[in-house]
Chains A and B, each alone.
Chain A
């Protein structure tokens, strides 16, 4: 089971509803992944960094150190590729499944 965590940017001027992305992701999370909120000191296997706009100001080393691997949402982009807003969560799931297959 891969542990996951979500980190948000501060949300000053978001182009997307960040909480909606997080909630949808939780609702369609594939098997083999779980959100780990019990022990914040433990490093996640995968972090989802949800930033409201392409600037992605929360993409900083101190956040990156919280997980072994990251998927970056920055406004209507996932890992710097444009995605329609309604498909952001789905795109994250696709990436998680691709990660699982490569292991």
Chain B
């Protein structure tokens, strides 16, 4: 069964025994919790679209392991066409959900772990690659959602893992046994953690010899003994508890992050893909980050498409669509959004094969892509708020609109152009609010800034890969400097 249906995916989550805390309480049924469920719907969309012939060219791929059709989220990129299709798929899903659909981190993790374990085995004679291939085969055959878990909590940023006052600030190996390892620590900001079947843990920085215990990569079931989750709050999240469809902006979809805690979790050797080989931790971080920086050239663009459409509708509903400055602002939003996309496509088209046969993006262009993502969505959001007007944040609630006495007042005074119902105007303004400063702003704004690495991380990579000496040489040649 290489492809799960959307319904089978939801049902499979119900079979997990996740230990989840949200707003100070243990959640017994995350799938149906009103705050969590929209994020599950976003991941579910990755299964639903794969079933639809209209989208299967982007959403599915042929497994190089089995020849079976698999969800692209479980696929290793075999050529640059795969890399390009990945970005297009992510744009599509951003358009369909208007939110973070979470499944990319696992896809980016398997592609990074594949090539690094291959190269590690070649150099060190270890046996990680075959173990990883078995894990990948299971992931493909069961169409699993895997959470790629990289970001440690890090404690004092000025100190390496081994020098931290509390040694658990980075996930580490606390015991090696004949049949496996025991790990402790926590991963922060874990996107889609509660909607995942398995976790693929990677180190978060380049480790040194002294940090060898922290150079660990492994897979574990999301509900393994000792793992628990503390759900991250989002702006306006409790609106989801009010049973209002309008006020949440996007009632169907969302994203989520959680703190993922490993309290002495046992991992059998068959699921360990790095254990102390600190020399390869940097390559794993660099490649995962590179793939994830590419991802943002697709997913943020798809959400941007929704936001641009919402801003254009707001202009229509406000009766301002014909104003030249509104048209120009929409053009600017499109220009910025397509520039993000252009970098996502470019770093994919300029990708190359690694020794394992898996394709890697052009790292310089992927970092340029993400650097733009740290800026452009903010400008697109600013322009959307400009076009939407202040009502976006001062408007009455859905309950007021439905109220038997004041409802007529809300209907009367919040109307824009006469041909459009007030409710439609309220809905589109709430959608803009949701993406620019509500629950989805976590994904569209702050995640654009810090997800896949904060801006300075990209600038370091751009500096490393920018080939500045050659540029000097070009200038010298033209200036006649010998």
Within residues 50 to 103 of chain A, which ones have a CB less than 8 A from any CB in chain B?
A: 54-57, 74, 79-81
Q: How many angstroms from the CA of A74 to the CA of B351 in the assembled complex?
A: 12
By a CB distance below 8 angstroms, the chain B residues around A81 are 119, 355
**A27, CB-defined interface residue at 8 Å:** no
When the two chains form their complex, are residues B362 and A54 in contact, meaning their CB atoms are under 8 A apart?
yes
Partner of A13, one of B119, B351, B354, B467: B467
Q: Please state if A80 and B470 are interface contacts (CB–CB under 8 Å).
A: no
Q: In the complex the two chains form, what is the Cα distance from A59 to B354 in whole Å?
A: 14
Among residues 21 to 56 in chain A, which have CB atoms less than 8 Å away from a CB atom of chain B?
54-56
Residues of A within 8 A of B (CB): 13-15, 54-57, 74, 79-81
Q: Closest residue of chain A to B357, judged by CB?
A: A80
A-B contact pairs, 12 of them (CB 8 A): A13-B467, A13-B470, A14-B470, A15-B467, A54-B352, A54-B360, A55-B350, A55-B351, A55-B362, A79-B355, A80-B353, A80-B354
- Nearest B-chain residue to A57, judged by Cβ: B350
Interface string of B336-354 (1 = CB under 8 A from A): 0000000000000011111
Known: A13-B470, A80-B353, A81-B119. 17 other contacts (CB 8 A): A13-B467, A14-B470, A15-B467, A15-B470, A54-B352, A54-B362, A55-B350, A55-B351, A55-B352, A55-B362, A56-B353, A74-B352, A79-B355, A80-B352, A80-B354, A80-B355, A81-B355
List the B side residues contacting A74 at CB < 8 Å. 352
Interface centre among B350, B352, B470 (most CB of A within 10 A): B352
Interface residues on B, range: 10 to 19
Main SS of chain B's interface residues? loop
Bound-state CA distance A77–B319 (Å) is 59
What residues of chain B have their CB less than 8 Å away from a CB belonging to chain A? 119, 350-355, 360, 362, 467, 470
Q: Which residues of B contact A54 (CB under 8 A)?
A: 352, 360, 362
State how many angstroms separate the Cβ of B348 from the closest Cβ of chain A: 11
Quick one: closest B residue to A72, CB to CB? B353
| Alpha-carbon separation in the docked complex, A13 to B354 (Å) | 20
B82 to chain A, nearest CB (A): 15
Q: Which residues of B contact A56 (CB under 8 A)?
A: 352-353
In the complex, which residues of chain A have a beta carbon less than 8 angstroms from the beta carbon of B354? 80
* Chain A residues with CB below 8 A from B470, complex form: 13-15
How far, in angstroms, from A13 to B350 measured CA to CA in the complex?
12
Q: For the complex, what is the distance from the CA of A42 to the CA of B351, rounded to whole Å? A: 32
Given the complex of chains A and B, what is the CA–CA distance between A79 and B355 in angstroms?
A: 8
Question: How distant is the Cα of A55 from the Cα of B350 in the complex, in angstroms?
Answer: 5
- Residues of B within 8 Å of A80, CB to CB, are 352-355
Query: How many angstroms between the C-alpha atoms of A14 and B470 in the bound complex?
Result: 8
